[in-house]
Structure 1
Amino acid sequence: MLRNRTLEQYMKEHLSLYIFVGVIFVTGVVFGAVMVNALSLEQKQEITRYLGNFFSIVTQGGLESGTASSIKESFTMHIKWVLIIWLLGLSVIGLPLILILDFLKGVLIGFSVGYMVGTLSWKGLLFALVSVVPQNLIVIPLLIICSVSAISFSILLVKNRFISRKGTLYEPFMRLSGTILASGFMLIGVAVFEAHVSPVMMKWVAPMLITMPPS
């Protein structure tokens, strides 16, 4: 009962931040998808050639899977975002930079999925569903949770320094650090999934995409 009340209180205090960060991320996704239309013909042809080579490598089994290096690479890529958000949350000027990071993450995902769908139609959507979507179903909520926690701490830091010096920041700092640590453990699972499962799913779908329509 106490835990439910604590969760309810937490959501009441942070719901507006979750909505705001979510809107920033979705705006980034939309912006990234729209960017696809702004590419020149040469840029589209270059990306299409790169994707064609990548699909051939995946089909031929040339993509590393299940190795320690692939797990480390995937984990490092994800944990960098979380650690940067944590560090920015510890600074007074970190709040807008955290929002910029969330926007950029949305842009990356929106551009990736938008290009594949725009170029390859339903086949591109299928490839996106096996290569981009699964891990991001975990990664994106984790980034939003970490962002809200870091923004909350940054706001407390500003209040403590410039408005009121009452109270201590020890407990909020430990909550933020605990959130980052828990996210790190979950990202290990994401890295293992990307290293072991994603290459297998991509190998199923890639043969349909080797012969791609011209951009």
Structure 2
Amino acid sequence: MNLMEKMNSNFKENKMFYLLVLTFFFVGILLGAYTIKYMDGIDAKDLSDYFTAFIKSINNQEIKTNELLFSIIKNNFLTILLIIALGFTVFGAPIILIVDLIKGFTLGYTFSFLLTTFEGKGIWIALTSTVPQNLLYVPFFVGISIISLELSSMKIKEKFFGVTRFNKVMSNGLIIKLSFFFILFIIGVFIECYLSPGLIRLVLTKVYKIT
């Protein structure tokens, strides 16, 4: 069985998990986007002023990549650990979905806010600061959430129905899948740390003429 066949088989077996995770994630994105729309004008202006000052500092100061790398890993570590740990519990599934909702909300909120800064012309800032790394972060979080939901489902079947499906073959498959998704995450981290700041600086100097 080749890779595409394995992926297709996994999707058919766990399509309900795919549907749940993607639904909660995208509902979170929509909620985040609408939160910006209905934010109080004063709060929105304060946030916009803060962000403008922040991106100007990015443009004028040397970026400490080691500190940025540590910050990115630290900000994601607890969420990743929580999602995976919940997979080994019987009632972890609802919490995993709530975490996905929150991740989606954060992404939607951030993108929508950046989109509306600079008098509504923040499209390039929004694209360069959020899209490159999230092209990898989103599949990563969706992937590990589905894996954790699979594990939690097995725990439920084992506890309440006496069905034991977890074996050495499944364990090896789990390690392979997690390894694949963590590779995506690591690439995303390096993009956010080493590529995105340069793209943001390019947009600020060439598009918005901020010096």
Common topology (TM > 0.5) = yes
Quote the Cα distance in structure 2 between the aligned partners of 1:106 and 1:202: 22
2:43 aligns to what? 43
User: For the structure 1 residues 29 and 121, does the alpha-carbon distance in structure 2 shift closer, same or farther, using more than 3 Å as the test?
Assistant: farther
User: For the structure 1 residues 166 and 93, does the alpha-carbon distance in structure 2 shift closer, same or farther, using more than 3 Å as the test?
Assistant: closer
Deviation at 1:116, TM superposition (A): 1.9
The two structures have a TM-score, normalised by structure 2, of 0.87
The letter for the 2-side match of 1:78 is N
Over the residues paired in the alignment, what is the CA RMSD in angstroms?
A: 2.4
The letter for the 1-side match of 2:57 is I
Quote the Cα distance in structure 2 between the aligned partners of 1:171 and 1:77: 33
1:105 aligns to what? 103
1:159 aligns to what? 157
Secondary structure at the counterpart of residue 14 of structure 2: helix
Quote the Cα distance in structure 2 between the aligned partners of 1:176 and 1:142: 14
Asked if structure 2 preserves the Cα contact closer than 8 Å seen for 1:24 and 1:103, the reply is yes
Quote the Cα distance in structure 2 between the aligned partners of 1:192 and 1:3: 26
User: For the structure 1 residues 70 and 135, does the alpha-carbon distance in structure 2 shift closer, same or farther, using more than 3 Å as the test?
Assistant: same
Quote the Cα distance in structure 2 between the aligned partners of 1:117 and 1:11: 34
Question: 5 Å matches for 1:41-80?
Answer: 41-64=41-64, 67-80=65-78
1:87 aligns to what? 85
Quote the Cα distance in structure 2 between the aligned partners of 1:168 and 1:22: 25
2:24 aligns to what? 24
Pairing 1:202–2:200 present: yes
1:127 aligns to what? 125
| Higher RCO (CA-CA < 8 Å; seq separation 6+) | 1
1:35-73 Cα offsets, whole Å, 9 max, x none, are 112322221122011111112102213433xx3332232
Asked if structure 2 preserves the Cα contact closer than 8 Å seen for 1:52 and 1:209, the reply is no
Quote the Cα distance in structure 1 between the aligned partners of 2:119 and 2:145: 33
1:4-60 Cα offsets, whole Å, 9 max, x none, are 443332121122321221111111100001111232222112201111111210221
Q: Which runs of 5+ in 2 are unaligned?
A: none
Query: Relative to structure 2, which stretch is displaced further, 118-127 or 133-142?
Result: 118-127
Query: Relative to structure 2, which stretch is displaced further, 28-37 or 164-173?
Result: 164-173
The letter for the 2-side match of 1:126 is W
Quote the Cα distance in structure 2 between the aligned partners of 1:164 and 1:7: 28
Deviation at 1:167, TM superposition (A): 4.4
2:187 aligns to what? 189
The letter for the 1-side match of 2:139 is P
Deviation at 1:210, TM superposition (A): 5.4
Quote the Cα distance in structure 1 between the aligned partners of 2:209 and 2:100: 30
Q: Which runs of 5+ in 1 are unaligned?
A: none
Q: Aligned residues, how many?
A: 209
The letter for the 2-side match of 1:123 is K
1:142 aligns to what? 140
The letter for the 1-side match of 2:40 is S
The letter for the 2-side match of 1:49 is D
Secondary structure at the counterpart of residue 90 of structure 1: coil
Asked if structure 2 preserves the Cα contact closer than 8 Å seen for 1:89 and 1:153, the reply is yes
